[in-house]
């Protein structure tokens, strides 16, 4: 992979930040990840909109404008030589030259990198569906961190993952402050019931893949809405799938000890997966 830092393109092994950077010390940063498929970015504008929105709400300033950032990302991909890449752009609070504890004194930093594409689910899991556990861990409440700011606060998600591994599952879903289903480590979730699609409305990252599912549903005449999903409801679903830039639309066929759709990948999920990848051609 190739990284961009301080005006230079570097091999990943040389891309390093200071331990004093507030992004590292306080998770005071925002980022976005976009994927490149067959040499082309997928919905880059939406990722840039979300990134610039997060930067603004965190009251940080990027040292480059949107056009320049687009060209930095393009250069990282070209220099990496990868046709299918996972591209991350990051803005951190940086650090203060005087070690001030006032975030306004810090010099904000931008960095980016392109590495080979990696998915939440591997090929076998995409064929048979994932086994997911529901963890009691509560996702950061939206009044604490605005979920539309893509952030590195993953202590809750990582705890969820370990809960899942301890129970023999492959990944986790964690809950919101009301105990409803929220999201998982790097993905949103959808249920299909009687032909209608649903996904949690509040306290989750407004995923670009989630949005793409809404767009696909509109195109093929399926109804999708954002609303609360209880832990009991998700297990009664006809189909469940998760969505992420890291893997697209990925089927779930088991939640805790409950088989979803008799443990088979459902037809709506399959259709959306096909349409999703057709959009990449
Ligand atoms: N993660 N929820 C969380 C907490 C995420 O981190 C992500 C994405 C999503 C899905 O959003 P999108 O469809 O825009 O990728 C939901 C990225 C891929 C990551 O882990 O780097």
- Per the CB < 8 A criterion, the answer to whether 242 and 189 are in contact is yes
Give residue 101's pLDDT band: very low, low, confident or very high (50, 70, 90).
very high
Q: How high is the pLDDT of residue 86?
A: 96
CB neighbourhood size of 65 (10 A) = 9
**Does 188 sit in the ligand 1 pocket, CB within 6 Å?**
yes
**Mean pLDDT (whole number) for 230-253:** 97
Residue 188 CA to ligand 1 center (angstroms) comes to 7
Per-residue pLDDT reduced to its tens digit, 260-277: 989 999 999 999 999 999
Per-residue pLDDT reduced to its tens digit, 115-150: 998 899 999 999 999 999 999 999 999 999 999 999
My answer on whether 73 and 138 are in the same domain is no
Q: Which is the closest atom of ligand 1 to the Cα of 212?
A: 13
Among 82, 116, 150, the domain-final residue is 116
Q: Above pLDDT 90, what percent of the chain?
A: 97
Q: The domain that contains 254 carries what CATH number?
A: 3.20.10.10
My answer on whether 130 and 103 are in the same domain is no
**Mean pLDDT (whole number) for 21-44:** 96
CB neighbourhood size of 211 (10 A) = 15
What's the rounded Cα separation, in Å, for the pair 111 and 14?
A: 13
Residue nearest to atom 17 of ligand 1 (CA): 186
In three-state secondary structure terms, 241 is strand
Alpha-helical (H) ranges within the chain are 22-26, 44-57, 66-80, 123-128, 155-166, 208-220, 231-235, 267-278
Residue nearest to atom 4 of ligand 1 (CA): 186
Q: Which is the closest atom of ligand 1 to the Cα of 243?
A: 13
**Mean pLDDT (whole number) for 186-205:** 97
My answer on whether 134 and 112 are in the same domain is no
Q: Which is the closest atom of ligand 1 to the Cα of 183?
A: 2
Q: Which is the closest atom of ligand 1 to the Cα of 210?
A: 13
**Does 187 sit in the ligand 1 pocket, CB within 6 Å?**
yes
pTM: 0.97
Task: Please give the tally of structural domains in the chain.
Answer: 2
**Does 129 sit in the ligand 1 pocket, CB within 6 Å?**
no
Domain interval for residue 274: 123-278
**pLDDT score of 281 more than 90:** no
ipTM comes to 0.98
The residues near 247 (Cβ < 8 Å, ≥ 6 apart) are 119, 120, 121, 126, 187
My answer on whether 59 and 127 are in the same domain is no
Q: The domain that contains 20 carries what CATH number?
A: 3.30.470.10
**Does 245 sit in the ligand 1 pocket, CB within 6 Å?**
yes
């Amino acid at each position: 992979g190739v990284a961009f830092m301080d005006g230079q393109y570097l091999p990943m092994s040389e891309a390093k930040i200071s331990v004093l950077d507030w992004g590292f010390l306080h998770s005071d940063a925002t980022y976005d990840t976009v994927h490149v498929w067959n040499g082309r970015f997928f919905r880059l504008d939406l990722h840039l909109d979300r990134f610039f929105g997060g930067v603004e709400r965190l009251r940080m300033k990027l040292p480059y404008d949107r056009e320049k950032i687009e060209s930095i990302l393009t250069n990282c991909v070209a220099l990496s030589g990868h046709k299918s890449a996972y591209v991350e752009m990051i803005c951190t609070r940086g650090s203060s030259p005087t070690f001030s504890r006032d975030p306004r004194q810090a010099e904000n930093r931008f960095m980016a990198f392109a590495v080979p594409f990696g998915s939440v689910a591997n090929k076998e899991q995409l064929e048979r569906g994932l086994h997911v556990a529901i963890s009691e861990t509560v996702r950061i409440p939206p009044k604490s961190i605005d979920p539309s700011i893509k952030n590195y606060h993953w202590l809750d998600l990582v705890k969820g993952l370990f809960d899942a591994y301890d129970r023999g599952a492959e990944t986790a879903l964690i809950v919101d402050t009301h105990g409803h289903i929220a999201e998982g480590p790097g993905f949103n979730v959808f249920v299909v019931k009687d032909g209608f699609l649903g996904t949690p409305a509040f306290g989750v990252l407004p995923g670009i893949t989630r949005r793409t599912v809404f767009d696909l549903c509109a195109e093929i005449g399926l109804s999708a809405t954002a609303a609360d999903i209880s832990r009991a409801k998700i297990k009664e679903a006809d189909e469940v799938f998760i969505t992420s830039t890291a893997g697209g639309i990925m089927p779930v066929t088991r939640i805790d000890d409950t088989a979803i759709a008799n443990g088979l990948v459902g037809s709506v999920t399959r259709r959306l997966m096909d349409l999703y990848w057709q959009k990449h051609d």
